[in-house]
Chains A and B, each alone.
Chain A
Amino acid sequence: MRRYLTPFLFLSPATLLILLFFFTPVVATILLSFTDLSTTTFQNPSWVGLKNYQDLLADPFLKKIFLNTAKYVALTLAFNVGMGLLLALLTSLVPERYGDPFRALWLLPRILPPVVYVFIWQGLLAEAPMGLVSDLLGVSKNWLVAAPWTAVILANGFVGASFGMLIFTSAIRAIPRELFYAAAVDGATTWQTVRKVVLPLLAWPILFVTAYQTLSLLTSFEYILLLTDGGPGFYTTEVWSLRAYHLALSNYFGNVEFGLGAAMAAVLVVIGVVVSLFYLKIFNFKALVSEPKIEVY
């Protein structure tokens, strides 16, 4: 019994937090999704079983919203991970006195409050003479409306890239110097060093950043909400989590559908689990966390 006590003590705070802030909301969301809870039924909700899920399947716009979500996650993820990796490599190749300030600059979008950050984007993308992009391109357009996906992906991407940049930079710095010396002695070019030494050793951080960012993008919608609110036009940039929010908490005259919104959120939980398992499989998670066959002292 005593042998279980120490692990139990160490694990219990984290377990409690996970139960409180992760597990309980998921269970509550799933329970809500089986009710007809809305503004008008809030005081007397009824148990409706799978009806909300049937309603979702009958929604003629669900396919469009699903495809929007896939597009948003895939393109933003590619930008986040790719740009994060590029920034980490470039800033690691130059002396720290240049690399560190440059990385600090890339952190600015992350530390800005989203509303202020989006306000800046709206200003940049406005029509001339206010909009900088219109001025630079010489074409006066409301670019947020003319190219909404580009705006959404870049606005999210500039925030997301800094996360990957930090993780990859610390991983690159953790690579033993000897490996770089050995590569140099063997006459490897910079590109060959990156490809043959650095990238293989970044597999675990890349898996982590990719998996984390995928799940984060699936559920985050605040920048889309503030930039386009799912528009312009007909569900142009409406993604799954934003649709769930609109159904559950936003409706022009306030008759919101909590039950239906919860059903959408519950589906998102399932998608998140499936995607996580997929990543663990393709990145061969077991091999990544297994005991090393050779220990170097």
Chain B
Amino acid sequence: MKAGRFVLAAVLFLGFALAQKTITLKAWTIGPDDPSITRLKNLEAAVERLNALLAIEGADFRVKLEGDFDTTDWDPYLRRVLLAFQSGEAPDIVQASAAPLIGVWATAGYIAPLTAETSRYGTFKDVFPSLWNAVTFKGEVFGVPQDTEARPLYFNKTLLKKLGWSDAKINELPKRIERGEFTWDDMLAVAKEALDKGVIERGKGYYHRPKNGPDFHMWYRAFGGTSYDEATGKLVFDQEAALRYFTWLKKAVDAGVLERDRLDGNWSRFHQNVTDGKVLFFSGGTWNWAEWKTQWVKDKGGEDWLWENFGFAPQPAYKKGGKPITLSNPQAYMVSTGSKQKALAAKLLAFVMMPDLDARHAVGSGHLPVLRATASLTGDRFIREVSYLLNYTTFAPQHPDFPKWQDALYRGVSAVESGQVSPEEAVKVVAAEMKRALKDQVMIK
């Protein structure tokens, strides 16, 4: 009798198993930094949890994830995504920078609005409210915040000590920057002094990223520039602010503080010199901390070495009493318009919005959490101490033509730094390029 029941149960189980469908969702994610692999791993964990719930509910299907994590670079990744959108082969879920890509892709009709879905699931309610602005375009939510970050000005404490700074003075530096007492010009003066006294090599007083990216927009704003006019919805190029920024760059290059060939496109060289302890001030991202910890200073003592040698602060103001700045470029999961499983993809994203997964990504990758509950979960010192930078954060404008604005500004920076044109000429070059590329979508002030 017992054997008969067992056989019956086995047949029923087998029958259910055979009747059960598997729905495959495809997701493309990118670091490009290795530690950000949790952008994919968290989706995989969410699938497991979703399937567990489906089993309890007795649903006749399960979800399978075909995920991809890209560690090459943004340019090839975005090209791949774009070509996939255009050929109708896009994955169900795409992760990318929220601003301005949501504006670009929503205008093109490649990503689906998620306003209804984000109101339906409770897990989305714990997202920091300001982050919804970054994923909203023309009143509709087009993405789910995945992480955010800040872009600090790091400084090398050991080199400052060699220059004669006391521990108290070094520890006070972030506060002085916050109060607007330590400006870009002050930083230049300190770096020049370090160079003159032989504390640093030529060109290693200040490092910025070696290729195009959102940071140049941040520095332009640090020098008083605005990039978007809310009233007209148009982009703005402030020539005076740009001239201040470009002039500072020229002064830094001429003083031997900044390398003339800083825009060499070589991230490895950036990280190598920084973690060799050769660079006095350097602008980076919070995620760099995780990269340095796990890849660059692992043999020197890992994070302890970083705490001993590096400090961080917001990017300084350009004038005394001014407000410092940083920039957040939140990442978002988006659902493609071509997906046949939009509702399921959105449900999966609701399962990623869990504090433990958010914490795992934040701690592992050096990004900042998107959920309010996460902060209490993680005891990570870096996350705790760096999060105040979000008080000074800004976002890129959600304008579909902002990439062209950014490219034009970057051309100006590269022209000045390489010594090919004067700051005044560079401002004219950028204004001309913006007028050509953006037509009536930019206001030149």
Q: Does A222 contact B (CB under 8 A)?
A: no
How many angstroms between the C-alpha atoms of A49 and B82 in the bound complex?
25
* A215-244, CB < 8 A from B: 228-229, 231-236
Contacts of A231 in B (CB 8 A): 263-265, 414
**Interface size class for chain B?**
35 or more
Q: Assuming A255-B401, A256-B82, is B97 touching A233 (CB within 8 A)?
A: no
Chain A proximity of B233: nearest CB distance (Å): 15
Query: Known contacts being A252-B74, A253-B402, A255-B401, is A39 close to B429, with CB within 8 Å?
Result: no
B79 within 8 A of A: yes
List of B residues within 8 angstroms of A249 by Cβ? 79
Stretch of A9-17, A139-147, A172-180, A199-207 at the chain-chain interface: A139-147
A255: which of B85, B261, B404 is its contact (CB, 8 Å)? Answer: B404
B420 contacts the other chain (CB 8 A)? yes
Whether B108 lies near A39 (C-beta < 8 A) is yes
CB distance from B217 to the nearest CB of A (A): 11
Bound CA span A146–B107, Å: 42
Asked if B212 contacts A232 (CB within 8 A), the reply is no
Q: Which of B197-222 contact A (CB under 8 A)?
A: 211-213
**Bound complex: CA of A231 vs CA of B415, how far in Å?**
10
Given contacts A251-B407, A253-B97, contact A228 B269 (CB under 8 A): no
B418 and A232 form a contact (CB under 8 A)? yes
Q: Are B406 and A253 within 8 A (Cβ)?
A: yes
Q: Report how far A61 CA is from B421 CA in the complex, Å.
A: 13
By the criterion CB–CB under 8 Å, are A232 and B108 in contact? no
**B417, A233: Cβ atoms under 8 Å?**
yes
- The smallest C-beta distance from B59 to any residue of chain A, in angstroms, reads 35
Whether the pair B261, A232 counts as a contact (CB closer than 8 A) is yes
Question: Is the Cβ of B403 less than 8 Å from the Cβ of A233?
Answer: no
User: For the complex, what is the distance from the CA of A233 to the CA of B400, rounded to whole Å?
Assistant: 26
Q: Is the CB of A229 within 8 A of B265?
A: yes
Contact A228–B78 (Cβ < 8 Å): no
Is B415 a contact of A255 with CB atoms below 8 Å? no
Which residues of A are found within 8 Å of B100, using beta-carbon distances? Answer: 253, 255
Partner of B406 from A40, A61, A144, A252 at Cβ < 8 Å? A252
Contact with A along B419-444 (1 / 0, CB 8 A): 11100000001001100100000000
A52-60, A95-103, A159-167: which lies at the B interface? A52-60
Contact B265 A232, beta carbon cutoff 8 Å:
yes
Nearest B residue (CB) for A127: B269
Contact status A253-B104, CB under 8 Å: yes
Find chain A residues with CB under 8 A from B213 CB: 252
Report the separation of the CA atoms of residues A57 and B74 in the bound assembly, to the nearest whole angstrom: 30
Enumerate the 5 nearest inter-chain pairs by beta-carbon distance, A residue then B residue, closest first. Answer: A233-B418, A234-B415, A253-B403, A145-B261, A255-B403
- 23 A-B interface contacts by CB (under 8 A): A39-B104, A39-B105, A40-B104, A40-B108, A40-B400, A42-B86, A59-B436, A142-B261, A145-B264, A232-B418, A233-B414, A233-B418, A234-B420, A236-B420, A250-B79, A252-B75, A253-B100, A253-B403, A254-B105, A254-B403, A255-B400, A255-B403, A256-B82
